[in-house]
Amino acid sequence: MRVRTEITSLLIALLTLQIMTSLGAIGLLSRMAPAIEQIIEENSYSIIAVEQMLVILGDAPVSQAERDRFDEALARANTNITEPEEAPALQTIEAHYQAALIGDVQARSETIAALSELASINHSSMADMDERAKRMGISGAWAAMILGVISVFLGLVFARRLLHRIVEPAEGFQATARAFNAGDLLRRVHLDAPPPEFDETARCLNTLLDAHQAQRHGGQIDATGEHLSMAGADRERRLVLALLDDLDRPAALIGPDDRILATNAAALDLPHELRIQLRQLDSLPEEERRWSARHLNDELVLATLISEPAA
């Protein structure tokens, strides 16, 4: 998969999750607001009517104006029945409130008991609705948390893919360029399952480096990019680099005319002064050398770093 397509797909997935989280939060709030409004409209309305009727009963016997107020409050309670248990309590109130208002003690007691029952029913209903609203909020919070965890997981996958598909290939190109700048003509870009764009770029860069190496050695390159006078050059180059990278210390392979043919990865970050010494191993006094030299044959020298200068 190409890098652009891969990054676009992951970004779309992350944005989709963010949109889902936002829509979920909006939906939760839009459901909780009516629930709270329902508590106020259905139960508080009846409780206020009950309180008004109880206040009027406390002044019995009452005037005609207070009787009218009682009738209005009872009518509001009758038109706002939200629980099945409210109907019997209202019937009891209607049966006894007339006598209670003129001072009948028994009727007054029955009416007050029915009003208390009606208030208790509405309080219980409010508590149940409040509990449902809380459960709704908790469910929404868990759903948002799950979407958040999925977003974090996708973000980690996205970061890991970017590291493997972009950062690591970029580091491979950088290491090869720095090695070439240091005089290493053997190092090439080798990527592990790169995106098509980077794979093509690596092949082009390796072809250019092969052409440069062939010109330095007097070789020729055919139309397919293969050396005509250097059979197995890529295999030998890989072998040399693998042997150098197995060494713990920074190391370099020096060719004729003190030319640096290859270095291991540990030698890429060395200071410029130490790389200069590689070209002057034979002319430096023994006490100034920081490289040990081992002659592999008449032309090749393996140099390994003895010590680095103190910081």
pLDDT at 311: 44
User: For residues 306 and 18, what is the distance between their CA atoms, to the nearest angstrom?
Assistant: 56
- What residue ranges do the domains of the chain occupy? 3-160, 182-305
**pTM, two decimal places:** 0.47
User: Please, what is the Cα angle at 283 between 278 and 286, to 5 degrees?
Assistant: 85
pLDDT of 235 reads 62
Check whether 130 has a pLDDT greater than 80: no
More confident residue, 89 or 227: 89
Q: Residue 51 and residue 42: Cα distance in Å, rounded?
A: 15
State the pLDDT confidence band at 310, using cuts at 50, 70 and 90. Answer: very low
**pLDDT tens by residue, 269-288:** 777 777 777 777 777 777 77
Average pLDDT over residues 134-139: 79
For residue 123, what pLDDT band results from cuts at 50, 70 and 90? confident
- Per-residue pLDDT tens digits for 154-210: 888 888 888 888 888 888 888 888 888 877 777 788 777 788 888 888 888 888 887
How far is the first Cα of the chain from the last one, in angstroms, to the nearest whole number? 46
260-263/291-295 β-pairing: unpaired
Is residue 118 a contact partner of residue 54, using CB atoms and an 8 Å limit? no
Q: What is the CATH number of domain 3-160?
A: 1.20.1330
Contacts of 36 (CB under 8 A, 6+ apart): 133
pLDDT surpassing 70 at residue 216: no
* pLDDT the model gives residue 1: 61
Are 227 and 221 in contact by the 8 Å Cβ rule? The answer is yes
Rounded CA gap, 183 and 263, in Å? 9
- Give me the pLDDT at residue 207, please: 85
Mean pLDDT confidence for 225-250: 63
